[in-house]
Amino acid sequence: METLTGTLEQHRIVGDDFWSLATLKTSDGQAPLVGKLLGVQVGDSIEVDGEWSTHARFGKQFRVVCSRVTVPQTDNGTVLWIASRLPNVGETRARALLDHFGGAPALWHCIETDPQRLAEVDGVTVERVASIVDAYNAFRDERDRMIRFRGWGMTENQVARMLIAWGDKAEAKLRANPYALAEVVDGFGFLRADAIAQRMGIEKTNAARIECGLRHTMKEATGSGHCYVPTGKLVSIAAEKVLRIDGDTVALHLAIMKGRGEFVQHGKRTFTRALNHHEQRCADRIRAMLSQRKTGQP
């Protein structure tokens, strides 16, 4: 695994899952990148982790595993970033801003702490100052959002799948219930969602966690060919092996889920609603066939 640092010169998304082809300008030249680059635009200063590989058709490429975005600190990178990101600011005016404030670090400091001073540069009106600040804040919010996702232990692939499913509402939905990942986002199950939730600080006795853990336990059982699970066994497995909390709490939430029809109880056996429906349907059809035989019907 290597790390490359530079300015993103070209970037093209070629797949629905954010798979990208890009060119990174580094101190050693240009590096062709392939992989998932989330939250980046041309002109960004980025760091990418990954490894070199050789494609039979396209030659040597750097396959990206993880990327991080920062504002550029070089003069040329700053001019390119401003011209591509900020509205109504071309390269000439970007260079004027850079020269007026004495370099990239001072310019970024001004935008963040005293943006009204941008109007000191000819051609930068009060309205343009407002649009520049809005665009910069949008970039910073996106950058910080990606930092939070990675801080919660999410990989590039996981973030990409979540964004495909939830789009701009991804962070709000994740904060509201990280266990929804296991229900609606491809590639997630309870264990992955739980790892993320724990890093977010979700309590082990959170209701959404317990219910997702019970669904996971039942799914594992039915995936092994079982049509039902003895209720006591379901509670003990979920409590001791999956959720690692006391059984009484798990039993209480199982009762709640049964009350709203998600699970069905027959004696000491617990079924999913779907399997219970299919079992009942099979029984009804067998009963109908037996009745036809008794009455001599074809």
Lowest mean pLDDT among 75-84, 159-168, 259-268: 75-84
Q: Does some domain include residue 237?
A: yes
Q: Does some domain include residue 238?
A: yes
Q: Does some domain include residue 283?
A: no
Q: Mean of the per-residue pLDDT values for the chain?
A: 89
Strand partners, 53: 61
For 11-50, the pLDDT digits (tens) are 998 877 788 999 999 988 999 999 988 878 777 788 899 9
The total number of structural domains that make up the chain:
4
User: Are both 182 and 196 inside the same structural domain?
Assistant: yes
Lowest mean pLDDT among 110-124, 203-217, 268-282: 268-282
Give the domain range for residue 222.
209-275
pLDDT of residue 170: 93
Strand pairing category for 229-230 and 45-55: unpaired
Q: Over range 216-225, report the average pLDDT.
A: 91
For 47-104, the pLDDT digits (tens) are 899 999 999 988 999 999 888 887 777 788 788 878 877 777 889 999 999 999 999 8
CB 107 within 8 A of CB 117: no
Q: Over range 236-243, report the average pLDDT.
A: 96
For 164-207, the pLDDT digits (tens) are 899 989 999 999 999 999 988 888 999 999 999 999 999 999 99
Q: Over range 237-245, report the average pLDDT.
A: 96
Q: Does some domain include residue 17?
A: yes
Q: Does some domain include residue 281?
A: no
Judging by beta carbons within 10 Å of its beta carbon (0-12, 13-18, 19+), is residue 97 exposed, middle or buried? buried
Q: Is the pLDDT of residue 297 over 70?
A: no
Q: Does some domain include residue 219?
A: yes
Q: Output the domain CATH number for residue 110.
A: 1.10.150.20
